[in-house]
Amino acid sequence: MKENAMTARTATRPALALLALCALLLAGCGAQQPTRGSNLSLMERYHSGKDLLHDGEGVKPTPQGDAMNAQEHLQRGMAFLSQNRSELAFEQFSRACQLDPKLAEARYQRGALLLARGVTAEARPDIDAALALAPANARAWETAGMLSFAEGNFTEAGERFERALVLEPRLAGAASHLGAIHNYQGQPDKALTLFLRALEQMPRSGELHNNTGIAQAMLGNDAAAVDHFRAAITYGAPGSRVWNNMGLSLCRLGRYDEAYEAFRNAGGEAAAHNNLGVYLSQQGEHTLALYHLQRALEVEPRYYARAAENLKRARLAARIAQGQGPASTSAAPLPMAGPAPGPSGAPGAKGAKGVGPVQGAPGVATPVTLPPASTPLKARATPAAVREGELRDGN
């Protein structure tokens, strides 16, 4: 029975993991700076094809104007960037790029800012130019990997992250995102090595601990996985999905009381009973499964319709296991219905989303909180659909 459940979980990994991989970007970009005399930010003007340098709308010229050389504009942009004044930094990088299109650092910094703002088409020429002009720049390869990630080209992203790590093995962003790709590809051993390397640089990253826990769970190391899930919550990773992940690992360890509390923290009492019922039914524990699914209905009789469907399936599975069902029907538990509705979460600007039930194989790679760096990128995420019996790694 466990082998069947594991096979089912493994088969769902690729379909789930891609749903939010494209949203993984480095953290660090400051808030958008409004510009004078215009409703458009400088990056929005750039995106729309408007001239930033000479039309005067929304751009206050520097005292020396464009007579200032490209290096001076670059240094001024870096100063603004260190103050989280990204719009003013973007203006200076743009001036530097116009004066000297072969100034690699200016092209890199402007491309990184555009990527952070989500305008990947505009970011690509600058990032590609930075790679061509400075092929030994590890940060440029890391950012190029983020660009490929955002475009959904995970093969290219992986190659670029690997190149970045050859040049600079301590790049935690490249290591953590390459680890997420390996998790998606069903290679948790490789992913775990990279996550542990990244944790040496970012030991207080909740998202990274969650991803590490998922890799451990995929390898069957559920006790270690629980430790990382607890650390993820301690360090601020979004709680509902981490509690879900912890609940499943605790189930696998046979610690059902703790699993119930974890599931309850993720989605409430009804969801906790439903999740335990689903898991126990998959393990052939039909009596306990029926109890928990019935309790889910008692707690939320109208709202928790999925539990009713799961209860019907669990009852049939129990009859089959006792030899009372149709002879042509397999003795394996029937698959449970899809995600049960749960309370709305509040994952920042990405909007509220229902909390799914028990989750088990890596679903979606999540944003990793990275230390401040000169690469001015910020995290984003895409909601992911999940099913019962799968680990959840995503916002």
- Decide if pLDDT at 72 tops 80: yes
Nearest alpha carbon to residue 232 among 194, 205, 200, 193: 205
| pLDDT tens for each residue of 189-210 | 999 999 999 999 999 999 999 9
Task: Give the domain extent around 86.
Answer: 23-151
CA distance 110 to 77: 9
| Domain assignment present for 62 | yes
The answer as to whether 158 is a domain residue is no
Query: Residue 231 falls within a domain, yes or no?
Result: no
Cβ(353)–Cβ(386) below 8 Å: no
pLDDT recorded at residue 239: 85
Determine, yes or no, domain membership for 65: yes
Instruction: Report which of 252, 205, 198, 268 is spatially closest to residue 391, judged by C-alpha positions.
Output: 252
Instruction: Give the range among 51-65, 213-227, 303-317, 347-361 with minimum mean pLDDT.
Output: 347-361
Annotate 249-280 with DSSP letters as a single string: HHHHTT-HHHHHHHHHHHH-HHHHHHHHHHHH
CB 47 within 8 A of CB 115: no
Q: Is the residue at 33 inside a domain? A: yes
- Cβ partners under 8 Å of residue 63, min gap 6: none
Tell whether 375 is covered by a domain: no
Domain of residue 143, CATH code: 1.25.40.10
Domain presence at residue 323: no
The reply to whether 290 falls in a domain is no
For residues 368 and 198, the answer to whether their CB atoms sit within 8 Å is yes
User: pLDDT digits over 342-377, tens only?
Assistant: 222 222 222 222 223 333 323 333 333 222 222 222
pLDDT recorded at residue 164: 97
Q: What is the mean pLDDT of the chain?
A: 73
Q: How many CB atoms lie within 10 A of CB 84?
A: 14
Residues 116-149: pLDDT tens digits? 999 999 999 999 999 999 999 999 999 999 999 8
Nearest to 237 by CA among 355, 393, 341: 393
User: Cβ distance 161 to 21 under 8 Å?
Assistant: no
Band of the pLDDT at 60, cuts 50, 70, 90? Answer: very low
For the chain, how many structural domains are there in total? 1
pLDDT at 165: 97
The pLDDT value recorded for residue 391 is 56
DSSP 350: G
CA dihedral sign of residues 60, 63, 64, 69: negative
Across residues 248-252, what is the average pLDDT? 97
